[in-house]
Amino acid sequence: MNPYIYVLNTNGILFLLSIIFYIFPPKKINNLYGYRTHRSMLNEDIWNFANTLFNKTFMVYAGVSFLAGILFAYLATKEITWQPMVLVLLTILVCIIKTEKGISNTFNEEGKRK
């Protein structure tokens, strides 16, 4: 497979999803769309905070992941295989960790702002 098509199918789709989530964030707590964890769904304030923070970090890191994937494709002397998928995984993990830390630093266990 062409390395550029591979990167577009992995990192490009991730970046496109991040733009969609940023433009159309969830308005109310739901079980279908948005950053849904037990802590983020405690109340509306945490829900809005978590989704705003996740969407911003997701767009930044997905963009970096996409550019890094294109760079991998450009510099590849052999076929690229796992590198773009690792970038996708790292992007998602970093966004989740940053959002959970943001929730912990801003809200207490009962869901009230510190």
Q: What distance lies between CA 20 and its chain's CA centroid?
A: 11
Tell me the per-residue pLDDT of 57-113, one tens digit each, with 9 for 90 and over. Answer: 999 999 999 999 999 999 987 888 899 999 999 999 999 999 999 999 999 999 999
Structure token digits, residue 69: 């994937």
Which residue, among 87, 103, 100, 97, has the nearest Cα to 15 in the 3D structure? 87
Residue positions counted in the chain:
114
Which residue, among 39, 33, 10, has the nearest Cα to 21 in the 3D structure? 33
What pTM did the predictor assign? 0.91
| Alpha carbon distances (Å) from 9 to 28, 84, 112 | 30, 10, 40
